Structure 1
Amino acid sequence: MIQTVKLAKLRLSPINVRTADPAALALEPLAADIAARGVLQNLLVTPASKPRGTFEVFDGGRRLRALQLLAQAGTIDAADYEVPVLVLKDDEAALSETSLAANFHQLRLNPAEECKAFQHFLGADGDIDAVAKRFGQTRRFIEGRLRLAALAVPIFDALAAGEITLDVAKAYATTDSQARQLSVWEAYQHSNPVADTIRRVIAQNSMDANSPIARLVGEDAYVAAGGAVDRDLFSDNADKWTNPEIAEGLADALLRAEADRLAAELGLGWVRPIRTAYAISHAHNLYHVSLEQPALDEATSDRLAQLRTREAELNSAIQHNGFGDAQIEVFIKELNQVSDDIDAIENRAPVLPEGLRPHVGAFLTLTPQGEMQLDPRYYSEMPITRVSDQDAEPPIADGADEAADAGNPERGSDGAASDREHIVDGFRIGDVETDDAGAGSKPISARLADELAMQRRDVLGASILDHPELALDYLLFAMIDPTYVAGHRDTGTTIRAPFPTDPIVGDVPASPARDMLATARATLNAGWADHETLFDRFMAFRALDDGDKTAWMTWIVAVTLETRPVHLRDTASLHDSLAGIMGIDVAAMWRPTAANFFDRISKSTMVGILNDVGGPAVAQRHATLKKPEMATASEKLFSGRTIVEPEVKAAALAWLPEPMRFATIDLSSMAEADDGAATDGEAGETDSLDPDDAADDDYNDVDDDDTLMASRFDEIADQLVD
């Protein structure tokens, strides 16, 4: 029977099964809820031995602690507050079992049920803060559950059914756009993505509210300009701005205005605003202006010497064992300050001569904190170099300008130095090495030169579209030349076929397959590779007949196969498909020997393999041997040189360790898919490339039939030309 007991007469029982640290019990939210609604579920208690009239709580300890928290805060009076309890009397074992049962069978609301409940409560009075207070939660927590309740229907249903986790649901809810949620859901619902993946996809085409641009612009200005904010209610500082173009436009205006102000104030030729803190990536088409630091005056030189002396004294004192920790900390603090002072002197800003200012510029950068900062380095669109005194132009006397102009072809009609080069404040501005530029011509900037080179590249690419035979030769040459001719890499294309990086380094035991690869390389027609220049090698390669080109093509493909993909431990699945198409019998080309396998596994593993192949009789027959003898005997058995039952011999000759096996591929489904593609297109024109031919005997004998491979190469080229 439920009764009430004063809070002051209750204490926690030592047999209560909940022993978590109070900090992990989330007592504050529970206390707030009890303050709003009272104790909704009775506590289980048993009479205490003393003092008389008191009770020990063996189930409901968290509620008891929350009540005590309210009493400490003065919200309730422990002497008067009535707590509903159920009094049970039994031995400690039985009471502990009851406590366990009461906790074990509790079932929390799932997140979807919580969301619907909060949505219902909010619908009653519309006051989020009131709901948060009643449940002892923050406003952000309630808003987060309401955002989940507003998920697109298929996503919310998946959460309710337990098909996606709460973290994944929260990732979808980082945007309140159901259309965006559904587009990502439809693309990823069958691939079981993690929450971070969903969050990244949804965040595409949006801007982090903590990004440098957002910090510079400020949310108020962004919203005032029509920008929208997607609140991430499940993590701090993760809101997204869904109209990044608005923020970028505002940031560009701020940066441009500040850049113009600095250029005018400092007298620079230009100041370019950039939305990053790293100017160096924007300066690759410019010339860095190398300037000298100002000379040290006598006082600063003396100060630097004193600082270095003190630095040495402090380093010596810190390394000495005669000082306590407190004194060492004082020394370290002073040493840091001394080091900063030395750096400030040694890294003093270089001096930009006044005459150079109109000829140079700088970048206005945006720091990660969203602050505009002028980069201290100066750049120019033309080379600027320091000249020695004897190289500098002598000053021109007053009244002698016209004579100087007449006798100096490098000066223009207005008396100014030529655009190609002139000297200002001891610096030569311009490129005097440009012999092919006519008098008075101005060299183009590095950026313009790069742009023109890119356009020339595009012209070349567009022209190659009409020359498939040349493209095929170039493709093969670009793959083969850098790999076969060591040291040559620049073929003018990103196409590469480098040797793979194997997972182990060193000698690998010989095998028939490795011998075949070596033989194939030795028989290649490699005369073209003897030419010195890249062009000569390419033209010689083009002159090879189709049979030789085919041999080179198959060799480069064969020697560039990876052992396994970089990000996986299993073999490449496409390798399995290739093996299935060619009908490879690995066991016919590789057998386990003592050197390549049996000596390198444990005796127990060897016994297990023998048992798999020949059963207990074969395993027991070998188990009594020492490991070296067992390895030798196993090599003979698995090479077919041991007299055993026919079925054991067949099993031994077919056995392969797992890493040597290719997965079985259903070639019939591949053929059906290709038949469908041929039906949609012009099947009659692609018979020579039909994968169905993989089942033909002639196709499987390609390695032994150079003529057939050469004809196939011809057919590929003809189809490209057509």
Structure 2
Amino acid sequence: MSLSHSPAADAATPAAPVAPAASADARPSGGLVVQYGEVRDIPLNRLKASPKNARRVGHSAEVIAARAASITHKGVLQPLVVEPEIKDGRETGYYLVSAGEGRRQALRLLAKRKALAKGAAVRCVVDTTNDPAEVSMDENLSREPMHPADQFEAFKDLAERKGYGAEEIAARFGVKPDIVRQRLRLGAVAPALLDLYREEALTLEQVTAFAVNPDPERQMQVYAQLCAQGRQPYAIRRAMTEMKVAADDRRVRFLGFEAYVAAGGAVLRDLFTPDNEGWVEDVALLDRLVGEKLAALAEAVRDREGWKWASAHLEFPHGHGCARIWEHLLPRGAEDIATLEALDAEARELIDQWADVDPLPPEVEARLTAIEDAREAIGDGYGFDADEKARAGVLVVLAPYGEARIDRGFVRPEDQPAPEPDDAAEVGADDADGLASGEGEGEEGEADAPWDGDDEADGGDEAGAEPAGDPAAPLPERVVADLTAHRTAALRDALAQDPDLAQLALVHALVSRVFGMGGAASCLDIRWGSRELGVYAEGIAESPAALAIAERHRQWARQTPTQPEDFWDFVIGLDGDSRASLLAHCVSLTLDGLRAWERRPVPVLAHVETLATALALDMRAYWRPTGRRYLDRVTKAQVLAAVADAVSPDAAARLSGLRKAEMVEAAEPLLVEAGWLPSVLRTARPEGEAAEDAAPRTEAIDEVEALAADEAGEAPALDPETMADDFDPGPGDEAEVAAMLAEAAA
């Protein structure tokens, strides 16, 4: 934009007129004429828009406002070009603006704001020689805008030489201060990089990525480190901010930027990405502050609730070795019971009284809300008693989204209560151990012969008289075993004929295994186990499925008894639906669909698929194909195959020339948006239903390979040998990917 001295100065000092040429064909004999027309100061209210103006799409309101701001500080630097308005062969006294309509509108805006008189003098060139339409075209076509790099350095010069801040510069040029800050940051980019931008060796997006970090030395280091193919804007930005923590990191969310800055932490701001607060530069300080805040929270929970201990952790300490007790229903005090009964009675009375009114009067609605708040203040009655808190502790863990998760009721091994002695159980256990180890055998190691009833009791006399013995003495162990074997057989037969009781016994057995701390409390030999999945999938404890399971487990655990002998009465007391839900929860924890290094029977793995189909499992609700979860851990060929499968072969071909890190960064949003799943996570549909929209990975690779071959020169072809070299198969994938590579090679 060309701007000049003020109009007031122009009016005070009239310029000498320049004699116009008579016509375009009548050129002066002296040579080239610099300017056609007479320079005059014309009142603003005598200037009109020209119908011959070549620009049909007018200037935006923002552009006019920016020019008005510039004229306010520097005046009009370039005179307007006008022609007299002619009507009926006579001049009307008005002038039509051939060049400078934007400046005329900016002056009119200033006059409307009372910053300028409506008749203020405006320096104009009255050109009656040139074609006004051609003049208008030249005004818009002949000028070349300033190169952006020159703009950036000019803004930087104003800031450094005159000390102007972003707000002052913005006011003088009619732009937003944020735009000025961005240009100042771009002006601070290493001069060598700006020169490369002028030479078109770098794009504006690349320069913007370098400007994220204002350190010119670091910018040149990153430029030297990244090869030409790797200088994508996202790769540059990642390299410029490595060793820094982004604003959306869970530690920053938990602590807060304000607390970090208040502690003296440096922040790298990103002026070019919307809704991005920047990066934390002092990671050690961040970790220390987060650790201190977590530790303070843990201590506050311990002191407030009365636990024996509390510890804070950035990650959940798997393998902590602690037992777990769960909250349970505590006896209420008489005062709380009376308060709750009064609140319930009042709520019922209000509901009955206003049952036919909808909506409820505001005062009734407010009172019902207050009653509910009062109930919540008293609590639901679940918790831990003082003895439990005296031997248990709390884990405070930083969760994935920046909130602190408090897990209560962990008992360290040294704090676990010793089991109460049970003489009968101890004797039985000792005898069982003795039989298993061969104790009680003869000196030669041979087992005693079965008892035939003729053995004499200890203490028989030599005369052969049979001693009467003690009627209260316990039966011999072998007799007990014989009798209980018969009884067990009878119980099995009877239980098989009572399905309802069998289900109840199964639920009891599982519940005592899952929630009991004192060992099994069931005579059913149900071998319950639950494989620890965290060993195979890092961070799975924070996945949507694991969090839902944990919450479900917590809700059941708070209802189950604390003593094993009470489990039977608890299970009997449940209604049918609750018992079925509890059974489903316990059974679900035993499900093991893992395919790892061990060889599992084919029928077992087939049953996993059968259950998935029966449940209509859709893993898109539980899993996303992010870099961390999948793309970083597979080969480039598998990433391309996924993109071809989820989006299109053309999209995969466009990514095939990228390096692995760049390919992953570009592919991740495409796959997440498409809801793509690897074949191992897809669920087969029952017969008669439409198959899931997913093509085999081998077909996708063939399509990408064919497209790359057809468009050689635009996208490099996929090389089967490179695919094989990059291949790092996961457990159980060897045969599948080997076939895939063979097809691509063919």
TM-score, normalising length: structure 2: 0.46
